[in-house]
């Protein structure tokens, strides 16, 4: 079948969950046997979110091919269980960069280069790129931002043009908010009406409206929205708040979002979506037999989105273990040698998060020490692993000034040091060791027990590494490298074999955990925390 393009826009306010709605629709179409991919268009000027502070935009999600992308791509992968790539996240920065490069090459042959048609053409090209050779039955494109923002205008205009050019192959879903006014005791549709008007001003009639709401929509409200917004009543879809995002696909199915989309695009599908594995996951999630608390030690803990993938990986792994996990977020800047015991009291496992820079590093190291000395299951990810190496160096190997040269350039014991290939690099954007690299595991280790295979591949995002100069010393004293990249000899995983479960990884396992494929290391970590 020829590729169909579905656009998801948002109105009234941000944070309505366009990413989750896109991923849920994709899931339903995939569960009916269609091939689907999801793309995010972000209206900011950064080339990618790689250089942004997590406070700005939440976590930076890394794809197999090493793109630093918006965290919504994480939702797409977790829901669909298929990989995304560079092409799945396009920013205004990338669009302008491509157009300006073309202009400098002289490709525009003396023409004045303008937002319309040159910028919009480039946007359209990026959308259609995913539909090339009809590789996918559906390309779902989520437009970041809110309709009415100056920044998203070129994207909205590109959608208008695509809809005009391919009326039978395109569909626009608009997500809005129907607020409940407690004082009036009523749900209000006016913001939705206004937001659809704004889309209409931009030349787009949405085909389907998804209304985010706290309370169920009455038939009256649905009728009213349908009438005022020129859509049929079946195209008014309710999206009520739920306790877990993973319920949204089921909710959307109940609201017949998938059936309506297929009918509008005239795509036949006689079978119901195969959602049994998904429902099994939710059943496990909602009927736990155990309950544990994991401390997540990091410096962006005020913002759940900053560690989104770790959060979700813990949930996937807990469900697999029929366990409820409470995630206790602890700010590493507030942890000291003196208060660490009290701060981490009663937790069943400690996860030290990835990160950059000096802030909060000593608190992370104190948390590692507590885990190591008290046989508390420990999972260190990227900087978390590096902290474990530093802690071991300082307190077991008596290298009292052991550090990473990222934090202390002049330390006499640089147990973590900059990678050779990074030494000449000064630009910050997209220059880390990024994306998937292979890693060979040692047998008879906790890691091998988790993966049950010797060759693995994981995604990376770092500049510093374990300093192999210290390898023998660490090994002799009980911290063992159990995963190595054989091409570069880079230590990817360390363990303390005498500890109940103490694993540090230089890569980011959290990017690969999905609902139907929870990550083996997270599963093993949770298991250790339960026992």
For residues 460-479, which are near ligand GLN according to CB under 6 A?
A: 461-464
Contact region for ligand GLN (CB under 6 A) — 187-195, 294-302, 353-361, 519-527?
353-361
- Summarize the chain as % helix, strand, coil (round to 5): 40, 20, 35
Q: Check: CB of residue 176 under 8 Å from CB of residue 160.
A: no
Looking at the Cβ atoms of 48 and 122, the one nearer to ligand GLN is 48
Is residue 317 near ligand GLN by the rule CB under 6 A? no
Looking at the Cβ atoms of 210 and 351, the one nearer to ligand GLN is 351
- Is the preceding peptide bond at 117 cis, omega within 30 degrees of 0? yes
CA dihedral 508, 513, 519, 521 (to 10 degrees): 30
Is residue 417 near ligand GLN by the rule CB under 6 A? no
Residue of 382, 403, 439, 499 marked active site? 382
In which element (H, E) is residue 529 found? helix 520-530
Q: Strand pairing of 502-505 and 378-381?
A: parallel
Looking at the Cβ atoms of 60 and 314, the one nearer to ligand GLN is 60
In which element (H, E) is residue 280 found? helix 276-286
Across-strand partners of 466? 416
Contact region for ligand GLN (CB under 6 A) — 79-87, 207-215, 387-395, 456-464?
456-464
Distance from the Cα of residue 205 to its chain's centroid: 30
Is residue 519 near ligand GLN by the rule CB under 6 A? no
Per DSSP, 470 falls in state G
CB of 510 to ligand GLN, least distance (A): 11
Structure tokens at 199: 């889309």
CB of 225 to ligand GLN, least distance (A): 45
Contact region for ligand GLN (CB under 6 A) — 200-208, 215-223, 321-329, 351-359?
351-359
Is residue 383 near ligand GLN by the rule CB under 6 A? yes
CA dihedral 375, 376, 379, 383 (to 10 degrees): -80
CB of 481 to ligand GLN, least distance (A): 16
CB of 429 to ligand GLN, least distance (A): 14
Q: Which of 161, 356, 471, 478 binds ligand GLN (CB under 6 A)?
A: 356
Q: Which of 122, 406, 458, 492 binds ligand GLN (CB under 6 A)?
A: 406
Residues with Cβ within 8 Å of 438's Cβ and at least 6 positions away in sequence, in order, are 455, 456, 457, 485, 486, 487
Q: Strand pairing of 290-298 and 323-331?
A: parallel
Q: Check: CB of residue 319 under 8 Å from CB of residue 518.
A: yes
Is residue 382 near ligand GLN by the rule CB under 6 A? yes
- Look up 508 and say whether it is catalytic: yes
Q: Total residues contacting ligand GLN (rule CB under 6 A)?
A: 10
Cα dihedral sign, 217-237-83-96: negative
Looking at the Cβ atoms of 217 and 494, the one nearer to ligand GLN is 494
Is residue 299 near ligand GLN by the rule CB under 6 A? no
> Which positions touch ligand GLN (CB under 6 A)?
354-356, 382-383, 406, 461-464
- State the catalytic residues: 382, 508, 510
């Amino acid at each position: 079948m020829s590729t169909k393009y579905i656009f998801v826009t948002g109105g009234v306010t941000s944070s309505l969950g366009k990413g989750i709605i896109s991923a849920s629709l994709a899931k339903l179409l995939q569960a009916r046997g269609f091939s689907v991919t999801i793309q995010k268009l972000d209206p900011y000027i950064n080339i990618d979110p790689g250089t942004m502070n997590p406070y700005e935009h939440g976590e930076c999600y890394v794809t197999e091919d090493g793109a630093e992308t918006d965290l919504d791509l994480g939702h797409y992968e977790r829901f669909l269980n298929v990989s995304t790539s560079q092409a799945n996240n396009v920013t205004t920065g990338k669009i302008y960069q491509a157009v300006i490069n073309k202009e400098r090459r002289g490709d525009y042959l003396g023409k004045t280069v303008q937002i319309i048609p040159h910028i919009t053409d480039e946007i359209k090209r990026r959308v259609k790129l995913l539909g090339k050779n009809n590789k996918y039955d559906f390309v779902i494109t989520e437009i970041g931002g809110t309709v009415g923002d100056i920044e998203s205008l070129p994207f909205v205009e590109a959608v208008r043009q695509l809809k005009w050019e391919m009326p039978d192959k395109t569909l626009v879903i608009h997500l809005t908010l129907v607020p409940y006014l407690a004082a009036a005791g009523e749900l209000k549709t006016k913001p939705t009406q206004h937001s659809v008007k704004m889309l209409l001003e931009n030349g787009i009639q949405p085909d389907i409206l998804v209304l985010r709401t706290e309370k169920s929509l009455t038939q009256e409200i649905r009728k009213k929205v349908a009438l005022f917004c020129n859509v049929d009543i079946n195209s008014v879809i309710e999206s009520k708040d739920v306790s877990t995002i993973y319920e949204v696909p089921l909710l959307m199915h109940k609201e017949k979002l998938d059936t309506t989309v297929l009918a509008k695009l005239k795509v036949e599908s006689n079978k119901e979506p195969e959602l049994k594995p998904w429902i099994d996951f939710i059943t496990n999630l909602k009927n736990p037999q155990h309950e544990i608390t994991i401390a997540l030690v990091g410096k962006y803990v005020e913002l759940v989105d900053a560690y989104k993938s770790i959060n979700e990986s813990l949930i996937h792994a807990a469900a697999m273990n029929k366990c409820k996990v409470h995630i206790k977020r602890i700010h590493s800047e507030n942890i000291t040698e003196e208060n660490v015991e009290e701060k981490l009291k009663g937790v069943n496992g400690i996860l030290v998060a990835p990160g950059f820079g000096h802030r909060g590093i000593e608190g992370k190291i104190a948390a590692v020490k507590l885990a190591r000395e008290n046989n508390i299951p420990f999972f260190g990810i990227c900087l978390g692993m590096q902290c474990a190496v530093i802690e071991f160096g300082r307190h077991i190997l008596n290298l009292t000034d052991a550090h990473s040269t990222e934090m202390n350039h002049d330390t006499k014991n640089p147990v973590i040091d900059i990678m050779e290939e990074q030494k000449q690099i000064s630009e910050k954007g997209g220059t880390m060791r990024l994306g998937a690299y292979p890693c060979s595991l040692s047998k008879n280790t906790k890691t091998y027990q988790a993966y049950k295979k010797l060759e693995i591949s994981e995604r990376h995002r770092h500049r510093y590494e374990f300093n192999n100069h210290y390898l023998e010393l660490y090994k002799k004293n009980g911290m063992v490298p159990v995963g190595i990249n054989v091409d570069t000899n880079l230590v990817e995983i360390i363990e303390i074999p005498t500890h109940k479960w103490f694993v540090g990884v230089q890569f980011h396992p959290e990017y690969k955990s999905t609902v139907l494929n929870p990550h083996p290391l997270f599963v093993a970590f949770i298991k250790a925390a339960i026992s």
